[in-house]
Amino acid sequence: MNANVMSALAEPNRLQIVDLLRASPLTVGEIAERLGLRQPQASKHLRVLSEAGIVEVQAIANRRIYKLRPDPFKELDAWLESYRRMWEERYDRLDDYLLELQNKEIDK
């Protein structure tokens, strides 16, 4: 897992920007307005997200449209999958143990 991606997503405003961009591409101004940020603040956060490879920008006339790149999220999902499997195995063992306890109570 790319540490730059994790670091970029760790900041709350940047995570909110990612949440906004999940719905549709937006301009810096739209992002700033929706999050109650000044435009320079939003631009700095977008620069960090861009450097981490999370967003890409498309220039249309004098507007810059930001959208999410899927690759970092595919990597993150693959990384998390190993943890999902581990927790599912642990929950399965817990279920087995609880059933065993219930059966012991019934047999008494």
pLDDT 10s digits, 22-73:
999 999 999 999 999 999 999 999 999 999 999 999 988 889 999 999 999 9
Q: What is the pTM of this model?
A: 0.75
Better-scored residue on pLDDT, 108 or 62: 62
Q: For residue 79, give the 3-state DSSP assignment.
A: helix
Please say whether the beta carbons of 25 and 67 come within 8 A: yes
C-beta neighbour count of 16 within 10 angstroms: 16
Report the phi/psi class of residue 63: left, alpha or beta, with left for phi > 0 and alpha for psi in -120 to 50. Answer: beta
